[in-house]
Amino acid sequence: MGLRETKKLATRQEIADAAMRLFVIRGFDHVTVADVAEAARVSEKTVYNYFPSKEDLFFDEVPARAQAIADAIAGRAKGDTFIAALRKLQVAECPRMCNPGFAAFARVIEDSRALQAKELEVMAQFVQVLSDSIQAEGIDERDARIAASLLVSVHRQFFRAARKQALAGRHGPTAARRLKADLERAYGLLEHGLGQLDSHVAAETA
């Protein structure tokens, strides 16, 4: 990476970090792009050059996360399924989601309807990225879309569960193990078929 690109990435990170500090202190809805620009010591135009909207300032890691999804599919180990590849990617995220600092991030989302709406857009973006990645492996477009939607639904529930846990004050290794267990169960249902739920209900009502 050249010096110019390195400087651009550094500026982008500085803006995002300044924005997050303000969001945590004041709440997302009470911070303007002008406030962020002042805190980062750049112009509003510069902020918009890097982030199309205020919501994108908060979800600044989305491009990297989307790329990680595509890379997980394209670079998965020989013999791994798409489900196994996404499971490994998300299991690796459990410790980060159970860091004490994640609670501040979670609180900002929970207090802003604008961010909750943006979260839905982000998940839709992930569906598209994942669907494209699966299609690139030779899977029919319709099947790829269905698979991507199911896999991203697990990701969304994982993210929501992590936030709920963080806001309840649960963090550290024990919380990470609990989150991982829930994640493994969700992927197990996808990998082995939802029919096992029907079988369980049938057994309970027999």
How many whole angstroms separate alpha carbon 112 and alpha carbon 102? 16
Identify residue 63 by its one-letter amino acid code. P
The Cα–Cα gap between 109 and 40 comes to 22
Tens of pLDDT, residue by residue over 129-164, are 999 999 998 889 999 999 999 999 999 999 999 999
Same domain, 174 and 90: yes
pLDDT of residue 198 exceeding 50, the answer is no
42 and 86 share a domain?
no
Spacing of C-alpha 48 from chain mean position: 22
Question: Could you give the number of structural domains in the chain?
Answer: 2
Write the CATH number for 120.
1.10.357
Residue 205 has pLDDT above 80, yes or no: no
Fill in the amino acid letter for 150: L
pLDDT at 62 over 90: yes
**Quick one: 116 and 84 in the same domain?**
yes
Contact assessment for residue 64 and residue 129, using Cβ atoms and an 8 Å cutoff: no
Percentage of residues in the chain with pLDDT exceeding 70? 93
Residue 36, domain extent: 3-54
Asked if 38 and 14 sit in the same domain, the reply is yes
Cβ neighbors of 98 (< 8 A, separation 6 or more) are: 162, 165, 166, 170, 171, 172, 173, 175, 176, 179
- Whether residues 110 and 42 share a domain: the answer is no
The HSE-up count of residue 83 (CA atoms within 13 Å, CB side) is 16
- pLDDT score, position 111: 95
Q: Are residues 102 and 139 in the same domain?
A: yes
At 72-100, the pLDDT tens digits run 999 988 888 888 899 999 999 999 999 98
Buried b / exposed e over 75-111, threshold 16 CB at 10 Å, is: ebeeeeebbebbbebbbebbbebbeeebbebbbbbee
Q: What is the DSSP letter of 151?
A: H
Give me the CATH number covering residue 21: 1.10.10.60
Q: Are residues 49 and 65 in the same domain?
A: no
How large is the average pLDDT for residues 24-53? 97
Q: Does 135 share its domain with 150? A: yes
- Token reading at 130: 């994942």
Rg (CA), the chain: 19
Maximum distance among all alpha carbons in the chain? Answer: 69
Q: How confident is the model at residue 63 (pLDDT cuts 50, 70, 90)?
A: very high
* Contact criterion met (CB below 8 Å) for 163 and 98: no
pTM over 0.85: yes
Is 74 in the same domain as 41? no
pLDDT of residue 123: 96
